[in-house]
Structure 1
């Protein structure tokens, strides 16, 4: 299709198919069908305010994606042009690129759960206590900075058009796994691909379900890197510190706000670094351990005072 070097204007990005935009009407139709089935069966699967919050977040995200489209695929073009490799545009290059993107998505997703800075870009997707197709719309507006995790894939020599199509398909795959109506699928599928069963575990806030099943399309990465957990009992959805607001602004930025508050209290660069890149909730655990330590120290001190008092009385 193209030979190096390619200029941005040569790509004619405006003519590339926007698969996500084309799929949007079908996705909304399926959401309303699921909502209707849920209402008919009197299941507490949907909340109207939660749905409109998710939809608003998703629509704004579509706008942000459109605005930064040139920057995103300008990056893909830059790394393609400086790469010593060139992978031809063939049917197998799409498959290879998709696998490479999914591998990068696994690590981007995992790091977003393991470091608080990146968690702030991702928490919006998890802060609903519901689990339905509309939850797939809840993608934080700051999540686009995670494009840096895909720079190595861009550098592998895939044509920017191939990367663009595979990236869109990877995003679209996420839609159908956000449902409780699809139970476990046949074992060969469950072994290789991420399914609704796997992703329900990922959205659970139960202690044994936390930080499991990061795979986007392929669950095989979780099996390889020790983060796989099969679904047993129905998960408790949401985050460990539940939010009660339905404001899209709050749902997107509440963790960023908490981070900035904590940074203002930091007494050193080391402390600020830990606030940004420690595991989410680490400061809560540290404060709890500190309180328990102080409580134990106070208790030990009281015991020593009582023993000393007894010794004095015996004398």
Structure 2
């Protein structure tokens, strides 16, 4: 039996709930509670301006997600209709989809740290020097282009509705792991799931913690692909070069601005390409490499 092709009208008529929008008031209330608790206990977990910036970034991002939901759904629907097979909308389809989606979330996240172009869509999430529940709101306004990494989920035959629900649940999972109040959990949980301990490592600037623990819901991908690092020493948070700004515009676009500047200052297409796609941690070394090559070429020309 041939798979029925879904139309955009069929999907939109389902009027699927925006789970993240409904959860937002609860998350904001929990942020307020954690903020109050850290204040009473005199812990340096929050900075007022930093938290307000995170809330502004998060609320605008929720609005953007709702506004472009049609586009997101359209992309997933298009690729779902390309394949002749489908996975029935059963309870186990949601579980399998969660694992398959999380696998691609791992690689999307990893690439966002290993490629400067994609880092620009993610750096907003890391430019806070604090680590608390409000940090989960700091999602870049340009992150939505990463939908291309999730096309394999549609091509696997998962119904767009299954994708839509599972994706929102996966995003919501990220909220609770952004805290310093939860230390280590029982070993089976720590081994299989991404926990606050794992994610603190991911947000740290300590040399041994850089580019580690990309797992979204499950930490097993890091264990499989060699990017796992347990939490040992106390993490320091933020970027290796801090932004020092609370302006949401700056926090979202500072890396894009730096990319444009570096491309404009490039002296060749090769250099311009490198300025866009080099691994962020290797950028300064790459700049010195091009500068040395340029100087060598200049001296050769001048005899």
Q: TM-score, normalised by structure 1?
A: 0.90
Deviations 1:173-194 (A, max 9, x none): 0000000000000000000000
* Secondary structure in structure 1 of the residue aligned to 2:280: coil
Say which is worse superposed, 81-90 or 104-113, in terms of deviation.
81-90
Question: 5 Å matches for 1:21-170?
Answer: 21-170=21-170
Structure-1 separation of matches of 2:14 and 2:68? 12
Tell me the CA shift for residue 270 of structure 1. 1.4
Unpaired runs of at least 5, structure 1: 294-315
Structure 2 distance, partners of 1:67, 1:125, is: 21
8 A Cα contact 1:13 1:70, kept in partner? no
Give the aligned partner of residue 222 of structure 1.
222
Could you list the per-position Cα deviations for residues 240-273 of structure 1 after superposition, in whole angstroms to 9, with x for gaps in the alignment?
0011110000000000000000000112221111
Shift of 1:235: 0.4
**Aligned pair 1:189/2:189, yes or no?**
yes
RMSD: 1.7
- Alpha-carbon distance between aligned partners in 1 of 2:290 and 2:155, rounded to the nearest angstrom: 46
> For 1:67-122, what per-residue CA distance to the aligned partner results, in whole angstroms no more than 9, with x for missing partners?
11001011111111111221000011000111111000000000000000000000
The alignment partner of 1:121 has SS state of coil
State which drifts further: 163-172 or 77-86: 77-86
Structure 2 portions without partners, runs of 5+: 294-303
- CA distance 1:219–1:167, change in 2 (3 Å): same
The separation in 2 between residues aligned to 1:91 and 1:243, in whole angstroms, is: 44
Contact 1:176 1:196 in 2 (8 A): yes
The separation in 2 between residues aligned to 1:178 and 1:256, in whole angstroms, is 25
Deviation at 1:167, TM superposition (A): 0.3
Q: What corresponds to 2:247 in structure 1?
A: 247
Residues 204-234 of structure 1, C-alpha deviations (whole Å, 9 max, x = no match): 0111100000000000000000000000111
Number of corresponding residues: 292
Distance 2:280 2:93 in 1: 37
Q: Once the two structures are superposed, what CA deviation does each residue of 1:4-32 show, in whole Å capped at 9, x if it has no partner?
A: 21110111256102110111111011101
Greater than 4 Å deviation, 4+ residue runs: 287-293
CA contact (8 A) 2:206 2:236 kept: yes
Preserved contact between residue 211 and residue 227 of structure 2 (Cα < 8 Å):
yes
> Counterparts of 1:292-307 in structure 2 under 5 Å?
none
Higher alpha-carbon Rg: 1
